[in-house]
Structure 1
């Protein structure tokens, strides 16, 4: 397989990794020796990184250490991890109260990517996997994240039209758009056998202001989706939504690309 790694970028990453492993600091000569790259090659890179505050130069000791902007980037990743941990704790509570699987997804183009799940203990339950993708228009999770898009934008997501996966799948853009307008008002998305005739799902978007970060849902075999069950699921999903969105606001979470530590 052809090596597609970009050498200048590799040097930047090697410098960061080296300084992160040596918090006491290193001289230019020491960095050069450790990453096996000539001083003349890495000097302009190091100057740029120092100017951008990704590394810090101590004029007294002539050593370099990790800078404030590297810390900020790392803190942003940690913030996302804390957000995921908080979301999963709320999902666990939803599962405890409904005894059905709870899943979280993010929107990638016209697809929903499943990034987290908490399984139920029910002997008859849905099996799912993190990392799978489904068309957003036929899932409650996906529709919970599509409602801010126009008809033209929806058409661009699905240039070949809306494929029918079951007899219940919405295949009309007008019908889909009309349903999305209702979801926009209620923030409750439903799907009854649209992707799989035997499964039903309810979902709510997770937002920070008008920005849709992700969505969480509860799915169950359709035969268990009674009116009473629906009301129970909606209650606990909305409760979780309120708590998670407060967390987003307090921690300024606006990144839709939440990455689960697998």
Structure 2
């Protein structure tokens, strides 16, 4: 998809869907643009990316600045995501039943493994981190709540994709996948072959595919089919031994069983 596609998609959707309001679609797409690109951006850069007419884009940006959804710099010529977006994101996390039900299990999994623990949700072809427990070690990864990564590059994403059929995965992902590191699987069919292994063994592994130096293990939480959420344990490869790896896998399976009970009515 080209850089200007979001704006064209909004206009196309408004014309074809019948129920979409163009200004509302543009507002959401603009906020998603800023959410996916931290920092401040010029009007020209935003216009080139979203493809909206510059005059209407400027008026929309000024309105969002006045409402606190977008911020501008001292010159008034560069724009970025505003604090209101943080308030809404926090509200989503605070009100999510799965996040609430998972807290005791995440705490226990963190204590059992002493490593970094994540709860994430599949959002299209990405995973979004909903909760994190930081490692107790000095050498540890850092992942913030709200971070988004391509599902194919993470153990969390692969654990979730494995709950879909091969044909569903083919319809979700392009043939060529984005590379994050030299270890990322970039061929869709090779990824599907790996998903067969994930289904058979019950867990997924990220072998330095999202971040060099880190290995991650993950299991899906089967309160829905296909699964929507998964938990993971991330450990620096320098600290990973066969015994520690086995302990992490066992702890993840126990955590999955506890979470399955905790989310059975959701």
Q: TM-score range by the shorter chain?
A: 0.5 to 0.7
Separation in 2, partners of 1:153, 1:207 = 18
1:156–1:218 Cα change, 3 Å: same
Question: If you compute each CA radius of gyration, which structure gives the higher value, 1 or 2?
Answer: 1
Question: Against the structure 1 CA distance between its residues 109 and 81, is the aligned structure 2 distance closer, same or farther, given a 3 Å change threshold?
Answer: closer
Aligned residue in 2 for 1:174: 189
SS at match of 1:216: strand
Q: 2:225 aligns with which of 199, 210, 215?
A: 210
Following the alignment from structure 1 to structure 2, what is the Cα–Cα distance between the partners of residues 214 and 152? 20
- Indicate yes or no: 2:261 matched with 1:246: yes
Residue segments in structure 1 that go unaligned for 5+ positions in a row: 6-76, 254-262
Q: 1 CA distance for matches of 2:97 and 2:166?
A: 35
* Gap runs ≥5 in structure 2: 1-22, 25-91
Where does residue 154 of structure 1 map in the other structure? Answer: 169
Conserved? CA contact 1:155–1:161, under 8 Å: no
State how 1:1-262 maps to structure 2 within 5 Å.
81=96, 83-159=98-174, 161-208=176-223, 210-249=225-264, 252-253=265-266
CA gap of 1:130–1:180, structure 2 versus 1, over 3 A, is same
The structure, 1 or 2, with the larger RCO (C-alpha pairs under 8 Å, 6+ apart) is 1
What's the RMSD between the two structures over aligned residues? 2.4
Aligned residues of 1:169 and 1:193 also touching (Cα < 8 A): yes
Where does residue 62 of structure 2 map in the other structure? none
Q: Deviations over 1:201-244 (max 9, x none)?
A: 00000012634130000001111121111111111111110011
The 2-side partners of 1:82 and 1:158 are apart by 29
